[in-house]
Structure 1
Amino acid sequence: MEKTWFTISVYSENNVGLLNRISGIFLKRHINIEGLNVSKSEIEGVSKFTIVIYTTVDWTRRIVSQIEKQVEVIKAFYHTDDEIIYQESALFKIASHLLFDERQIQNIIKESNGQIVTVSRDYFVLAKTGRRHEIDQMHDELEPYGIMQFVRSGRIAVTKAEMPISSLLEKFQHEI
């Protein structure tokens, strides 16, 4: 089977230790978590895990099935990139003199729709929000000039189609 990118959304109670057990499910199957974000969801008291993996649909189905067996998990879903709207964010720290000495840096910022977050005597920080490949492209273009620090967030995503989780979450909220 062909590998592809999947985004797994896990809706759960906000309990200590669940992240460790979920990551253990991936560890046992030797599947790397490429991106992870945990935040509150649209329903109070319910957390949403957004997990990005690169594997086959069969492995993804098995993983989602195992995740749903966790007591605190309300429901888990998986989606391909075509089924969701997603963003990632990144910060780049670069030596300040390059902003003025290397005209190409300004072109990279402009063409990639990056934003200068702060400028100091020694460094400046760029922010870029977009899809993974857009951030990778900006990184590749800035790398020859020297990146002092780089960090990327986990993916945040919403589905294009209506999620059946809303009615499940409403029921869950009334039970609390």
Structure 2
Amino acid sequence: MDKKIFTISVYSENNVGLLNRISGIFLKRHINIESLNVSKSEIDQVSKFTIVVNTTEDWVKRIVQQIEKQIEVIKAYYHTDEETIFQETALFKISSDLLFDEPLIQNAIRESNSKIVTVHRDFFVLAKTAQRKEIEAMHDLLAPYGIMQFVRSGRIAVSKEAMLISEMLEEFHNNNK
């Protein structure tokens, strides 16, 4: 089977140690986590892990089954890139003189829908939200001018199809009243 990129969404209670156990599932199978983001979800008191891996569908199915065995995990799903809408955000810290003296930088900011977050005497910070390829292209464009600092977030994603997690939780709460 061919490897491809999968986005795994894990809905869970927010408990200490869960991230360690989830990452251990990937470690045991020698599968690298390409990107990881944990945040509040659309459901009160429930966290959402967004994990990106490059593996086969067979392996991602097994991983999701193992993740769901964790007691705090409510539900886990996996999706291909075609089944999700996703973005990442990057921050570039660059010397301020380039902002004023280099027309290529000015054009790149304008044409790439990037945003200047702050300007100081010695540097400015540029934010770019896009898919990874666009962020990498911006990085490649700016690298010859000297990037003072660079950071990129993990993927954030929503599925195109409805995930019935909210209804599942409501049913669970109603059954336990």
TM normalised by structure 1 equals 0.95
Deviation, 1:43, is: 1.4
Residue identity opposite 1:169 in structure 2? L
Q: Structure 1 residue 37: deviation in Å?
A: 0.9
CA contact (8 A) 1:43 1:173 kept: no
* Superposition pairs of residues 136-155 of structure 1, within 5 angstroms: 136-155=136-155
Asked whether the equivalents of residues 44 and 173 of structure 1 are also in contact (C-alpha less than 8 Å), the reply is: no
- Pairing 1:162-173 to 2, within 5 Å after superposition: 162-173=162-173
Report 1:91-106 matches (<5 A): 91-106=91-106
Gapped regions of structure 2 (runs ≥ 5): none
Structure 1: how far apart are the matches of 2:172 and 2:32?
A: 31
Residue in 2 that maps onto 1:86: 86
AA at the equivalent of 2:35: G
- 1:116 paired residue number: 116
Q: Deviations over 1:57-96 (max 9, x none)?
A: 1111111111011111111000001101111111000011
Judged with a 3 Å threshold, the aligned counterparts in structure 2 of structure 1 residues 67 and 150 are, in CA distance, closer, same or farther, namely same
Instruction: Give the corresponding residue for 1:8.
Output: 8
Aligned to 1:43: 43
Q: Alpha-carbon deviations, 1:110-163, whole Å to 9, x = none?
A: 121111111111000000001111111111111111111001111111111111
Cα distance, 1:171 vs. partner? 2.9
Distance between the aligned counterparts of 1:118 and 1:13, measured in 2?
36
For the residue of structure 2 that corresponds to 1:148, the secondary structure is: strand
Could you say which residue in structure 1 is the equivalent of 2:159?
159
Contact 1:43 1:170 (8 Å CA) reproduced: no
CA contact (8 A) 1:67 1:76 kept: yes
For 2:47, what is the secondary structure of its paired residue? strand
Query: TM-score, normalised to structure 2's length?
Result: 0.95
Q: 1:172 to 1:49 in 2, by over 3 A?
A: farther
Task: Output the CA distance in 1 between the equivalents of 2:5 and 2:111.
Answer: 26
Tell me the SS of whatever aligns to 1:170: helix
Residue 29 of structure 1: CA displacement?
1.1
Distance 2:110 2:15 in 1: 43
> Offset of 1:169 from its aligned partner?
2.1
Alpha-carbon RMSD across the aligned residues, in angstroms, is: 1.3
- Matched residues in 1 for 2:133 and 2:124: separation? 23
Give the letter for the 2:145 counterpart: Y
Q: Which residue of 1 aligns with 2:72?
A: 72
